[in-house]
């Protein structure tokens, strides 16, 4: 074990991250959100957050990294300890302002407990897309135009805390990623269109705290993009996690789909 703990949600990211680190971290999972591919050392509940934070520091943990998908959990008022209960009004006020505000409030609680919140870029930069092509297929001029249009759309939506992804084909926006996620967006595009071409653009929201909730793609993203008839996926370099990269690239190359990252 090291002085690092992964605060894990569901999905593959916590396990892939744990494997990428030089030493085995402590893996702590939020109750009800089980990561795949990694053994969980400790399960915790939001209602008893402050006792959990004290336990981490008592165990010599001084850094935490958030990884994995978490939807808003249901809370049981009967389980709150007195200290955590005092933080609830602040968290509820942040929740009303959107996911980014909520995450910032959660980060602040960890930091107040003496825990440094670190991002993937600082501990596992190889998991993030770098500038340039990931696969063998280069984007077409139309793909580049659609990618630029998608980036502009996401830039415009960032102030209202909506979406890390959108699909654009021939300059037209076919859909924007909302709370239901990337898979739902791509499935909706696949169900509603008969044409081919278009680009899925994935990037962090402008002003987003890059220590948490980094945009992520993986094999399921590629399968969704292929089913939607897309010709490209454009990522933001240094700010998008690529899970199972070898499989992602193989799927893209087999489908003749361009996948690349821009600054």
Hey, what domains does the chain have and what are their CATH numbers? 4-123 (3.40.50.20), 128-262 (3.40.140.80)
Distance CA 170, CA 216 (A): 25
pLDDT for 79 equals 82
Q: Which residues pair with 124 in a beta bridge?
A: none
Give me the residues of the chain with pLDDT under 50, please: 1
Please state the length of the chain: 263
**Helix, coil or strand: residue 214:** coil
Label residues 198-231 b or e (16+ Cβ within 10 Å = b).
Answer: bbbbbbbbeebebbbbbbbbbbbbbebbbebbbb
Average pLDDT value over all residues in the chain: 90
Predicted TM-score (pTM) of this structure: 0.86
pLDDT for 240 equals 96
The distance from CA 118 to its chain's CA centroid, rounded to whole angstroms, is 14
Q: Given 3-state DSSP classes, what are the helix, strand and coil percentages for the chain, each rounded to the nearest 5?
A: 40, 20, 40
pLDDT for 220 equals 96
Q: Which residues pair with 29 in a beta bridge?
A: 8, 43
Q: Give the tens place of pLDDT for each residue, 217-226.
A: 999 999 999 9
Q: Which residues pair with 93 in a beta bridge?
A: none
pLDDT for 163 equals 81
pLDDT for 98 equals 62
Phi and psi dihedrals of 182, rounded to 5?
-65, -45
Q: Give the tens place of pLDDT for each residue, 176-215.
A: 999 889 999 999 999 998 778 999 999 998 888 888 888 9
């Amino acid at each position: 074990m090291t002085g690092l703990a992964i605060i894990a949600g569901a999905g593959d990211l916590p396990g892939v991250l744990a494997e990428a680190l030089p030493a085995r971290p402590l893996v702590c999972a939020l109750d009800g959100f089980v990561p795949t591919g990694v053994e969980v050392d400790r399960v915790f509940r939001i209602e008893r957050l402050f006792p959990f934070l004290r336990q981490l520091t008592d165990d010599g943990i001084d850094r935490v990294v958030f990884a994995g998908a978490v939807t808003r959990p249901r809370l049981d008022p009967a389980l709150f300890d007195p200290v955590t209960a005092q933080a609830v009004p602040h968290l509820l006020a942040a929740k009303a302002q959107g996911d980014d505000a909520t995450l910032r409030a959660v980060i602040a609680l960890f930091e107040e407990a003496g825990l440094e919140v670190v991002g993937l870029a600082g501990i596992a930069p190889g998991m993030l897309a770098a500038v340039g092509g990931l696969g063998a297929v280069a984007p077409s001029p139309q793909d580049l135009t659609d990618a630029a249009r998608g980036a502009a759309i996401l830039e415009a939506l960032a102030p209202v805390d909506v979406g890390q992804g959108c699909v654009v084909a021939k300059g037209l926006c076919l859909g924007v990623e909302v709370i239901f996620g990337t898979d739902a967006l791509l499935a909706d595009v696949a169900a509603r269109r008969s044409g081919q071409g278009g680009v899925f653009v994935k990037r962090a929201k402008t002003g987003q705290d890059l220590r948490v909730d980094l945009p992520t793609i993986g094999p399921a993203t590629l399968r969704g993009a292929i089913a939607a008839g897309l010709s490209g996926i454009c990522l933001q370099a240094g700010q998008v996690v690529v899970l199972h990269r070898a499989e992602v690239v193989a799927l893209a190359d087999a489908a003749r789909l361009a996948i690349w990252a821009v600054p």
